[in-house]
Amino acid sequence: AQSVTQPDIHITVSEGASLELRCNYSYGATPYLFWYVQSPGQGLQLLLKYFSGDTLVQGIKGFEAEFKRSQSSFNLRKPSVHWSDAAEYFCAVGGNTGFQKLVFGTGTRLLVSP
Amino acid sequence: DVKVTQSSRYLVKRTGEKVFLECVQDMDHENMFWYRQDPGLGLRLIYFSYDVKMKEKGDIPEGYSVSREKKERFSLILESASTNQTSMYLCASSQPGGETQYFGPGTRLLVL
């Protein structure tokens, strides 16, 4: 069965510092992988996705993620965090079936300190 | 831009009431989804639909039903609301073939 693990419930980063959010997945075939961000009281916004090809994926707002098949990981990174990045981040895995059901991780809440 | 709208941002209902949550998307997407979001549990799939009048159970369908009479509209129904259904409900839509899901802003439901 598909599953996603985000081992960090909360992370605090200083503004301007680099960020890495961890995501490990379990999936029987080649996965489709997503990172979404949720600002307080809002729905989810897609940051980036990996379907195939280059394993380093660029997204919006300066985020990137790297797919590592050998480690079953899809970690999200940003070189310099801004206060506006404070939000909850969700990793999700899906497949290439027509229904595209996604399985989400439990989320990582990012706090940005001045 | 894809737009997914949900009928209410906040709802307060009483135990035993019948509750309707409405979701509308404007991009002619085939697939639509209902999730609930709870702290520490992430998003869990309640029901999804891949075509008009078609529905499939997700991971936690108990206590819920859905209706999809038109392609753009997907309704979640709580037949008899209970306090353990207090949650944030998120609707999403997508095209088939592994494409991105687009989310609405969510409905925060409180059942007293």
- Which helix (H) or strand (E) segment holds residue A111: the answer is strand A108-113
Residues of A in contact with B104 (CB under 8 A): 43
3-state per-residue secondary structure call for chain B: CCCEEECCCEEEECCCCCEEEEEEECCCCCEEEEEEEECCCEEEEEEEECCCCCCEECCCCCCCEEEEEECCEEEEEECCCCHHHCEEEEEEEECCCCCCCEECCCEEEEEC
Q: Do B42 and A36 touch (CB under 8 A)?
A: no
**Is residue A48 a contact partner of residue A63, using CB atoms and an 8 Å limit?**
yes
Q: Do A98 and B58 touch (CB under 8 A)?
A: no
pLDDT (tens digit, 9 = 90+) per residue, A20-35?
999 999 987 778 899 9
Whether B106 has its CB under 8 Å from any CB of chain A: the answer is: yes
Name the residue type at position A34. Answer: F
Q: Do A43 and B48 touch (CB under 8 A)?
A: no
Cα separation, B79 vs B22, in Å, equals 14
Q: Is A60 helix (H, G, I), strand (E, B) or coil?
A: helix
Q: Is A71 helix (H, G, I), strand (E, B) or coil?
A: helix
Which positions in chain A have a beta carbon within 8 angstroms of at least one beta carbon in chain B? 9, 32, 34, 36, 41-46, 49, 51, 90, 94-102, 104-107
Cα separation, B16 vs B52, in Å, equals 29
Whether B1 has its CB under 8 Å from any CB of chain A: the answer is: no
**Is residue A60 a contact partner of residue A44, using CB atoms and an 8 Å limit?**
no
Distance from CA of A67 to the nearest CA of B (A): 17
- Nearest by CB to B105, which of A43, A99, A106? A43
Q: What percent of chain A clears pLDDT 70, i.e. is strictly above it?
A: 96
User: Does residue A99 register a pLDDT over 80?
Assistant: no
Residue A54 confidence (pLDDT): 87
> How does the average pLDDT of chain B come out, rounded?
93
Most A-contacting residue of B37, B68, B88 (CB-CB within 10 A), to test interface: B37
Q: Do B99 and A100 touch (CB under 8 A)?
A: yes
**Is residue A87 a contact partner of residue A40, using CB atoms and an 8 Å limit?**
yes
pLDDT (tens digit, 9 = 90+) per residue, A27-75?
877 788 999 999 988 889 999 999 888 899 999 999 999 999 999 999 9
**Is residue B74 a contact partner of residue B34, using CB atoms and an 8 Å limit?**
yes
**In the predicted model, what is the mean pLDDT of residues B24-32?**
92
